[in-house]
Structure 1
Amino acid sequence: METDCTRGEAPVNNAPIGHIGPPAALPAGTRLLHIGPHKTGTTAIQGALFAARDKLPAHGVEFPATSRHPMEAALAACARPAMMGDTVPTEKHWTRLLQQVDATGSRTAVISSEFFADAADDETVSRIVRQLGGERVHVLVTLRPIAKIMPSQWQQYVQNGLRMGYEDWLDHMLRKAPYEKPNPSFWRRHRHDRLVERWIRAVGADRITVVVVDDRDRDGLLRTFEALLGLPQELLQPVPDAANRSLTLAETEMLRKLNMEFRGNGLPDELYSKLIRNGAVMHMKNTCSPTAGDVKISTPGWAVEAASGIGAEMAERIGAMGVRVIGDPALLSAAPERPEPAMATGEARIAPEVAAHALYGALAAAASAPVRHTAEAKARTVHQTSSKELVRVLGHRCLKRLRRR
């Protein structure tokens, strides 16, 4: 199968595919810009760097950010919208990060956000590089197989309001040109060869490192960052983060159905951010761990085959671009070890305790900004009002109180 999303221009040059082994350290004073993309181990790296930020200066390295992930700054730099209902990032977020980077002086600085992969054009990429230090910038791209990224990325989109089922979403991403609906960001991030090409045009192939993540080596990415930054081995340690786990099929389907109700009743996006994503979903992920009995999101065979073919083409093209490749490029076309047939949604059943934790998370988020009933009673009673209207009114009242707070 060939689609527009699998075609590309000719390779840049005839450089070898790459090598496997520990990389040489980057020059002191480098601005190491890790651009992701999403679902390639970014959260693990950001958590480990942030946890070790007080130890890094002793080795000539700085992590110039006040949080694990400077997401708002990256979104502002790329002129991208915030997640559904979140506060819109402003230029101030980006300016603040630039000031923190500039304050590192001659030390090596590492900046990491997967949202840098969302930079849509050459002008934006060039401006980001120029503002971060120009020739001092070295770009790091971490990659995983598309076949493994797709289910994880779909459930993440559902956490941001997507209502489309997995197989329908796959059909749009792989079979329906121009492959931009319902999520135009997917191939901007995950057509990895074109992603690398965009950044080559800004910094040159000699200042780009591509790391192929091997899921069998759980700490391999941490060790690679240590080598690139000239840090002692095992200085960077994994940081458990339950909030970053992927949802199970049942959890995702429950949320997807809720998204349909939410949109169907015309509730405001800010309420979704407050009560659903940062309330119900966050509490559910923090308190409920998937078990062996939970049904996982499985990709149908036709989509696995298509994704593996795209991965093989991307690996070949990246290998010919002259960038440094760390790891085995053949992994980019790898399929799950036991690809499953098309998933049976009927097998996904949400456990009562999981649903209870999700409901409690929404209630706790609402309670943090309680609704005060200051208006006089209306002529109609609750029992005389339709459920759809009640939900809409309640949502707008909650939002009004949240804004006032």
Structure 2
Amino acid sequence: METDRTSDIPAPLPAGTRLLHIGPHKTGTTAVQGALFAARERMGEHGVAFPAHSRHPMEAALAACGRPGMMGDTVPTEGHWARLLERVRATGASTSVISSEFFADAPDDATIARIVGQLGGDRVHVLVTLRPLARIMPSQWQQYVQNGLRMGYEDWLEHMLRKPPYDRPTPSFWRRHRHDRLVARWARAAGPGRVTVVVVDDRDRGGLNRAFEALLGLPENLLRPVPDTVNRSLTLAETEMLRNLNVEFRGNGLPDGLYSRLVRNGAVTHMKNTYEPAPADVRIATPRWAAEAAAAIGASAAERIGALGVRVLGDPGPLSTVPEQPVPSPQEPRLAPEAAARALYGALAAAAAGGAGTAGARGVHRTPSRELLRVLGHRGLKRLRRR
């Protein structure tokens, strides 16, 4: 296996490469996408283009893979993918970088081969970022809950690890996170020599940005963390609040669009961006049996990836170890009053800003409180007048 430590700087990819970062989910994708988008003008000065019009071209990636969108969100169309391809082609001979973890959802070899071909064939270099599976599982579960899942964590682990065929209720999980099969699928399309795997070291917060800088031939420290894109995980109490809300939401047959606007992009987004969990807030703890099962799968995956002939940056050892888990609390998790207030405000603000021009376009958590209150008050007066 060709393995380098991330401390050993890899040589830049050839000029004109189209670097395609496919995630998968929960491997630092949101943070690196934010850093790339924030630095896009400075990257241009060094001959590297960021062709996407936003931090994360999610709809384009979903459309390319033939996958549905998040619950209640914009329906991906072929037009989303076509527009991204146009922007990629417009970069000409420049090096460019495209990043979306939803490319990991590509269902089969034919879809992957088409994506690679449309992006430039031999010019495409695929980048896969990996973290230990035992660290991914709690983050991925709470992400599924943010998309409407109603199953508790331990029940979900039972289905993923102990109940064949391991594809319910979230069939996308193993497509994304059976990492050896994911790398193999993309290596078959792009060729092993045009695939790089970066093993993310959670102790080194700048390591992933440095790997991108090295591969793209960018100066050190050009990519910097962007606070707005620190996609923190929910605490256990926050996730349980949302999971129980999902039960009520589904049980009452409310429309998916309402969930997207008021819950995921309103309550949850505002809470995540404005409330920092305290040390006393209970984190999601993975049972020992599940962490050991995940480590065994990680060990098998690391061995198979090593035999594929792709380049591996970083130490693959952590993929097969059982990471330390939060000590389970003997008490029921309690939602902090401040977190509840932030979530409730986010939902109210989303309701107020939903059709309010610039407020809705900016997103609730970036709209000044005074403006949101003004919109909410204006709508309240209109309703009173109608009555």
TM-score normalised over the length of structure 2: 0.89
Q: Of the candidates 331, 339, 349, which is equivalent to residue 364 of structure 1?
A: 349
Look up the match of 1:76. Answer: 63
Q: Of the candidates 18, 41, 66, which is equivalent to residue 54 of structure 1?
A: 41
Look up the match of 2:366. Answer: none
Q: Write out per-residue CA displacement over residues 41-82 of structure 1, whole angstroms, 9 at most, x where no aligned residue.
A: 111111111011001122111010111000010010001100
Look up the match of 1:350. Answer: 335
Q: Of the candidates 237, 244, 256, which is equivalent to residue 257 of structure 1?
A: 244
Answer whether contact 1:129 1:137 (CA < 8 A) is retained: yes
Answer whether contact 2:30 2:229 (CA < 8 A) is retained: no
Q: Of the candidates 213, 222, 230, which is equivalent to residue 200 of structure 2?
A: 213
For 1:254 and 1:17, locate their aligned partners in 2 and report how far apart those are by CA, in whole Å.
Answer: 45
- Are 1:44 and 2:31 counterparts? yes
Answer whether contact 2:31 2:231 (CA < 8 A) is retained: no
Counterparts of residues 18-167 of structure 1 (less than 5 Å): 18-20=3-5, 21-167=8-154
Secondary structure of the residue that 2:41 maps to in structure 1?
A: coil
Which amino acid letter does the alignment assign opposite residue 68 of structure 1? R
Offset at 1:352? 1.8
Counterparts of residues 309-388 of structure 1 (less than 5 Å): 309-338=296-325, 340=327, 346-369=331-354
- Are 1:195 and 2:182 counterparts? yes
For 2:259 and 2:142, locate their aligned partners in 1 and report how far apart those are by CA, in whole Å.
Answer: 16
Look up the match of 2:277. Answer: 290
Answer whether contact 2:128 2:196 (CA < 8 A) is retained: yes
For 1:176 and 1:109, locate their aligned partners in 2 and report how far apart those are by CA, in whole Å.
Answer: 42
- Are 1:270 and 2:257 counterparts? yes
Which amino acid letter does the alignment assign opposite residue 34 of structure 1? H
Secondary structure of the residue that 2:127 maps to in structure 1?
A: strand
For 2:27 and 2:325, locate their aligned partners in 1 and report how far apart those are by CA, in whole Å.
Answer: 20
Q: Against the structure 1 CA distance between its residues 17 and 311, is the aligned structure 2 distance closer, same or farther, given a 3 Å change threshold?
A: farther
Offset at 1:361? 1.3
For 2:325 and 2:64, locate their aligned partners in 1 and report how far apart those are by CA, in whole Å.
Answer: 40
Answer whether contact 1:17 1:320 (CA < 8 A) is retained: no
Q: Write out per-residue CA displacement over residues 134-166 of structure 1, whole angstroms, 9 at most, x where no aligned residue.
A: 110000000000000000000000000000000
Q: Write out per-residue CA displacement over residues 348-370 of structure 1, whole angstroms, 9 at most, x where no aligned residue.
A: 10122221221121111112247
Answer whether contact 2:286 2:325 (CA < 8 A) is retained: no
For 1:81 and 1:157, locate their aligned partners in 2 and report how far apart those are by CA, in whole Å.
Answer: 14
User: Which of 1 and 2 has greater Rg?
Assistant: 1
For 1:349 and 1:264, locate their aligned partners in 2 and report how far apart those are by CA, in whole Å.
Answer: 24
Q: Write out per-residue CA displacement over residues 70-116 of structure 1, whole angstroms, 9 at most, x where no aligned residue.
A: 00100100011000001101111101100110010000000000000
Q: Of the candidates 231, 246, 250, which is equivalent to residue 244 of structure 1?
A: 231
For 2:245 and 2:262, locate their aligned partners in 1 and report how far apart those are by CA, in whole Å.
Answer: 12
Secondary structure of the residue that 2:324 maps to in structure 1?
A: coil
Answer whether contact 1:17 1:316 (CA < 8 A) is retained: no
Which amino acid letter does the alignment assign opposite residue 364 of structure 1? A
Which amino acid letter does the alignment assign opposite residue 209 of structure 1? T
Structure 1 ranges of 4+ moved more than 6 A: none
For 1:243 and 1:60, locate their aligned partners in 2 and report how far apart those are by CA, in whole Å.
Answer: 27
For 2:229 and 2:38, locate their aligned partners in 1 and report how far apart those are by CA, in whole Å.
Answer: 16
Which amino acid letter does the alignment assign opposite residue 134 of structure 2? A
Answer whether contact 2:285 2:326 (CA < 8 A) is retained: yes
Which amino acid letter does the alignment assign opposite residue 350 of structure 2? A
Q: Against the structure 1 CA distance between its residues 69 and 281, is the aligned structure 2 distance closer, same or farther, given a 3 Å change threshold?
A: same
For 1:156 and 1:180, locate their aligned partners in 2 and report how far apart those are by CA, in whole Å.
Answer: 17
Q: Which runs of 5+ in 2 are unaligned?
A: 357-387
Moved more, 234-243 or 322-331: 234-243
Offset at 1:17? 5.3
Secondary structure of the residue that 1:196 maps to in structure 2?
A: helix
Q: Against the structure 1 CA distance between its residues 214 and 24, is the aligned structure 2 distance closer, same or farther, given a 3 Å change threshold?
A: same
Taking only the aligned residue pairs, the percentage that are identical comes to: 74
Answer whether contact 1:295 1:347 (CA < 8 A) is retained: no
Q: Against the structure 1 CA distance between its residues 59 and 350, is the aligned structure 2 distance closer, same or farther, given a 3 Å change threshold?
A: same
For 2:223 and 2:113, locate their aligned partners in 1 and report how far apart those are by CA, in whole Å.
Answer: 30
Offset at 1:339? 5.8
Which amino acid letter does the alignment assign opposite residue 300 of structure 2? E
Answer whether contact 2:31 2:229 (CA < 8 A) is retained: no
Alpha-carbon RMSD: 1.4
Secondary structure of the residue that 2:84 maps to in structure 1?
A: helix
Answer whether contact 1:23 1:227 (CA < 8 A) is retained: yes
Secondary structure of the residue that 2:45 maps to in structure 1?
A: helix
Answer whether contact 1:304 1:339 (CA < 8 A) is retained: no
Answer whether contact 2:283 2:326 (CA < 8 A) is retained: no
Look up the match of 1:168. Answer: 155
Moved more, 284-293 or 241-250: 241-250
- Are 1:233 and 2:208 counterparts? no
Q: Which runs of 5+ in 1 are unaligned?
A: 1-15, 372-405
Secondary structure of the residue that 2:10 maps to in structure 1?
A: coil
For 1:42 and 1:77, locate their aligned partners in 2 and report how far apart those are by CA, in whole Å.
Answer: 18
